[in-house]
């Protein structure tokens, strides 16, 4: 058993190195994290999802929202922020290779009717830069245009962004947890520490 634990312990070393490299990359990625605020000044509860534009063809995708700016750790949610009247949400995201271009908005009472607030009318020019203003205020739903299918699809995709956060955290923390468990088992069994 001690020999198996020793082999398992040594087998974790490459994964520990990979974890450190990922953490280093996340630290460098912090240079591209920026933020903006969305404020609800309507009299209704709304649900907002920020959308970005990627590439010269203008493909719409969820913004890569971050839980922490340093190191740049992905958030478990990238949209579906429910805002009561007068509430606001601060969203930080990685602006590298994406332009923040729209906010998909739905009244909580009518979730199927999706609207959009265009935050960057020309998202494929002068790529890639931060938001055009620090705060976006939604004060009248009647002044917003209907969200096209590409925007609605990007907003729905934001619901699946938690998978990225789980994988990212597993790759960074998992090897250290495995190493600690194997080391503890080895110590209890009288093996190498």
pLDDT single digits (tens) 64-89: 999 988 888 899 999 999 999 999 99
111-136: b or e for each residue (b if 16 or more CB lie within 10 Å)?
eeebbbbebbeebeeeebeebeeeeb
CA 160 to chain CA mean position, Å: 10
| 65 contacts 91 by C-beta, under 8 angstroms | yes
The two tokens of residue 134 are 């620090």
DSSP reduced 3-state for 28: helix
Measured CA angle at 176 (ends 174, 182), to 5 deg: 100
Architecture of domain 31-161: Sandwich (2.60)
Domain limits, the chain: 31-161
User: What would the pLDDT profile of 157-168 be if each residue is shown by its tens digit?
Assistant: 998 888 988 999
Q: Tell whether pTM > 0.85.
A: no
| 118 contacts 102 by C-beta, under 8 angstroms | yes
Among 11, 23, 14, 50, CA closest to 168: 23
Among 79, 77, 118, 74, CA closest to 100: 118
Q: At residue 117, does pLDDT exceed 60?
A: yes
């Amino acid at each position: 058993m001690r020999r198996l634990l020793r082999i398992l312990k040594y087998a974790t070393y490459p994964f520990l190195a990979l974890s450190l490299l990922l953490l280093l990359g996340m630290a460098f990625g912090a240079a591209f994290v920026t933020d903006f605020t969305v404020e609800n000044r309507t009299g209704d509860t709304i649900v907002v999802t920020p959308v970005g534009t990627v590439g010269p063809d203008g493909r719409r995708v969820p913004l890569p929202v971050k839980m922490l700016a340093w190191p740049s750790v992905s958030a478990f949610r990238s949209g579906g922020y429910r805002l009561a009247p007068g509430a606001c949400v601060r969203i930080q995201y990685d602006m590298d290779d994406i332009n923040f271009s729209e906010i998909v908005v739905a009244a909580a009472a009518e979730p199927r009717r999706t609207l959009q607030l265009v935050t960057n009318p020309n998202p494929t020019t002068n790529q890639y830069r931060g938001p055009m203003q620090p705060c976006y205020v939604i004060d009248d739903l009647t002044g917003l245009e209907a969200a096209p299918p590409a925007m609605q699809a990007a907003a729905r995709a934001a619901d699946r962004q938690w998978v990225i956060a789980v994988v990212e955290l597993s790759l960074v923390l998992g090897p250290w947890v495995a190493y600690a468990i194997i080391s503890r088992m080895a110590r209890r069994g009288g093996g190498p520490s």
